[in-house]
Amino acid sequence: MGTIKRKRLYYIYVLIAFMGFAPAAHGQDISVSAQLDTTEFLIGDQVGIELKVKQPINEFVGIPIFEQEINTDLEILEQSENDTTLLESGHYLIKKRLLVTVFDSGYYALPPIPFLYYTDTIRTDPIGFRVRTVPVDTSQAIKDIKMPYGAPLSFAEVFPWAGGGIALAVLILALAYIIRKLKRKEPIIKRVKPREPAHIIAYRDLDKLKAGKLWQQDKVKEYYTDLTDILRLYLWNRYTVRTLERTSEEILDSLKNIDFSDEEAFETLKDIFHVSDLVKFAKFKPLADEHEKCIEGAYKFVDRTKLIVEEKKEESEVEANEEKQGVINEVNETKVLEENSISK
Amino acid sequence: MNETVDVKELNDRIEKESSFVDMIKMEMGKVIIGQKHLVDSLLIGLLSDGHILLEGVPGLAKTLAINTLASIVDADFSRIQFTPDLLPADLIGTMIYSQKKEEFQVKKGPIFTNFVLADEINRSPAKVQSALLEAMQERQVTIGEETYQLPKPFLVMATQNPIEQEGTYPLPEAQVDRFMLKVVVDYPKLEEEKLIVRENIAKVFPKANSILKPENIINARSVVKDVYIDEKIERYILDIVFATRFPEKYNLEKFSAMINYGGSPRASINLAMASKAFAFIKRRGYVIPEDVRAVCHDVLRHRIGLSYEAEAENVTTEDIITEILNTIEVP
């Protein structure tokens, strides 16, 4: 800033400072004022301006609304809402705070701020203030310019890029998967094979055990071990009752706990477990017909306890067919009746 | 494995030989209300020649139970209250100089009896505990230069109070392993306690009759050893004990960091023996997995060393044993 300009501004500053002592009263019993927190501050410092209006309750004074700056020098950073206080004298005191800054050094004036009062305008007094630069120690060596500090990356900044990258990677992988499947002529979406029903597995295993003819080869212990294992697996698959880690007694207790209602099936299972425990742990050797009885008992148990979803489905299909057939029959009967009536 | 054993014949024999079990239980039931697990554990210890460590708060009929058992078997009983100033000589005996005979004479201690109740064993220092535990293991005591055999049957029932740990000498792991069973005695049920109160305020306190001789117990022990244990059950026992040592091999990786040490071979032996005794009590000539599971907690709970991780996670040996039993496949 040139010396002449600075000198001129100094005179303006002094003149405005003298003017600042004048009372700020306009109209009837209404006063407005503007006050700076300090009249001297460093370049870039943030300084508050407090605007005040004192007015009777039944009057209205329009407080100015600023956008980004008061004038080209004074930049507004923040402005508060109007704060209204009822005074004992029956007046309103309305306050508004502005946070301003100046980015050049020198002498400045806060211009008179206009307040609308009906068709009249009441202005505050101008206030002069000085903005100083940072003092430079010339006795020290000149230092290099510091580069601006890098702000840390925030999640909001990274997220769109990262999200986009992940989405792109997923897209590429999906395309690669589809191309590979198409090349191999495989279906793109594999259908999950439905789990085999518990009784089907049990029947298959029992058939296999029967065909193995273990007891005929004097492998009685193995025969009963396999038989109980098949039944345990069946119970696990059918009722989700933990059986492999439980003893025979505990398995039977578990069935009681799930309200197993088929008494006959329960007794059959109990008998099989009893004989099997004797064979497995007490060297008991049952007679040949006992072996057959046990495996037949196992078949019977599975028969009586298997899930009959398929049968129900078939039944419903049969019912539907029957209904369909019934409709056809009715139609036929109607046709015959109609034909008869025509012939008559 | 004795493949020639006739289990049917053995079953019949045990059915006959174990008839006294019901009588013992009946006589015990006259005096001890409830505490069936305690009575069963005493019988298991008695029949399998193992000692029992009891943990329970005072007043749960621990002393009364062993006293009653001693009177039923017509055996000697002594109770030793372990205190911080107890000396090994107070327990096993010492040499006393006889001025009349002008020689040292042996004064046998209270350990020379059939049933010993070592009350609050953790109140005495290690040297006294060692003296008792050595006698338990060797079934003999050396005083001066002479070694004396302890009477048969010899059953030690030691008690520990779980609520007062201050001023106690916890039993070292190596010594606690010598107890076949560690039984946790719990409070009686409400109905049971009503009967206990009624029994105790009556004019005459019921008394158990002597129905057995110590020799009968010795004979029964030999029959218990004959109880058939199948290879599958042996394998089951070993799986359980090995799971306490190498839990990760049994899909129990979560316990790897929680177990400092698992059951010793003595644990396997005792689990097999206790299972046999339990089968005998159930009047069966063969062991089934239920027998193993019934005694498993009592045999293993003091043989698993827990790490700080387990303590921090509030995991107890009970939890570990239960989880092992719920994981290992039953034969």
Report the percentage of chain A scoring pLDDT > 70.
81
Tell me the C-alpha distance between A263 and A88, whole Å: 93
Predicted confidence (pLDDT) per residue in A143-153, tens digit: 888 888 888 88
A254 touches chain B (CB under 8 A): no
Nearest CA in chain A to B5: A283
Residue B221 inside a domain? The answer is no
Query: Are B87 and B145 found together in one domain?
Result: yes
Which domain range does residue B311 map to? 227-327
Residues of B in contact with A283 (CB under 8 A): 5, 7, 228, 230, 286
**Model-level pTM?**
0.65
The CA-based dihedral angle spanning residues B209, B43, B37, B71, taken in that order and rounded to the nearest 10 degrees: 20
Query: Are B200 and B284 found together in one domain?
Result: no
Amino acid identity at B222: S
**Higher confidence at residue A329 or residue B319?**
B319
Q: What is the mean pLDDT of residues B209-222?
A: 87
Predicted confidence (pLDDT) per residue in B52-79, tens digit: 998 888 888 888 888 888 888 888 888 8
Mutate to test the interface with A, among B9, B284, B290 (most CBs of A within 10 A): B290
* Confidence tier at A342 by pLDDT (50, 70, 90): very low
Question: What is the arrangement of strands in the sheet containing A127-132, beginning at the earlier edge strand?
Answer: A40-42, A127-132, A106-110
Q: Given this model, what pLDDT does residue B202 score?
A: 80
- The burial class, CB within 10 Å (0-12 / 13-18 / 19+), for B220 is buried
**Higher confidence at residue B274 or residue B173?**
B274
Report the percentage of chain B scoring pLDDT > 70.
98
DSSP summary character for residue B219 = H
Cβ contact A275:A290 at 8 Å: yes
Q: Given this model, what pLDDT does residue A11 score?
A: 54
Tell me the C-alpha distance between A28 and A26, whole Å: 7
Report the percentage of chain B scoring pLDDT > 90.
29
Query: Over 50: is that where the pLDDT of A24 sits?
Result: no
CB contact under 8 A, B230 and A246: no
Whether domain A3-132 has CATH 2.60.40: yes
Residue B80 inside a domain? The answer is yes
Domain boundary among B191, B216, B241: B216
Mutate to test the interface with A, among B13, B230, B251 (most CBs of A within 10 A): B230
> What number of residues does chain B have?
331
The token duo for A187 is 């279906």
Cβ contact B320:B280 at 8 Å: no
Here the CATH number for the domain that contains residue B155 is 3.40.50.300
Q: Given this model, what pLDDT does residue A317 score?
A: 55
Question: Domains in chain B: how many in total?
Answer: 2
Cis? peptide before A152, omega within 30° of 0: no
A105 touches chain B (CB under 8 A): no
Min distance A244 CA to chain B CA atoms (Å) = 5
Beta bridge partner(s), residue B105: B96
Query: Are B269 and B150 found together in one domain?
Result: no
Query: Over 90: is that where the pLDDT of B8 sits?
Result: no
Tell me the C-alpha distance between A81 and A74, whole Å: 19
Amino acid identity at A325: Q
Q: Given this model, what pLDDT does residue A340 score?
A: 47
Predicted confidence (pLDDT) per residue in B262-294, tens digit: 999 999 999 999 999 999 999 888 999 999 999
Residue B1 inside a domain? The answer is no
Tell me the C-alpha distance between B55 and B171, whole Å: 13
Averaged pLDDT score across all residues of chain A: 82
Query: Over 90: is that where the pLDDT of A171 sits?
Result: yes
Tell me the C-alpha distance between A272 and A275, whole Å: 5
Cβ contact A98:A76 at 8 Å: yes
- Chain B residues whose C-beta sits inside 8 Å of any chain A C-beta: 5, 7-8, 11, 228, 230, 232-233, 285-290, 293, 325-331
Residues of A in contact with B327 (CB under 8 A): 245
Query: Are B48 and B161 found together in one domain?
Result: yes
DSSP summary character for residue A69 = B
Q: Given this model, what pLDDT does residue A14 score?
A: 45
Query: Over 50: is that where the pLDDT of B184 sits?
Result: yes
Here the CATH number for the domain that contains residue B254 is 1.10.8.80
* Confidence tier at A34 by pLDDT (50, 70, 90): very high
CB contact under 8 A, B7 and A247: no
Query: Are B98 and B242 found together in one domain?
Result: no
Say which residue the tokens 């049933």 belong to.
B115
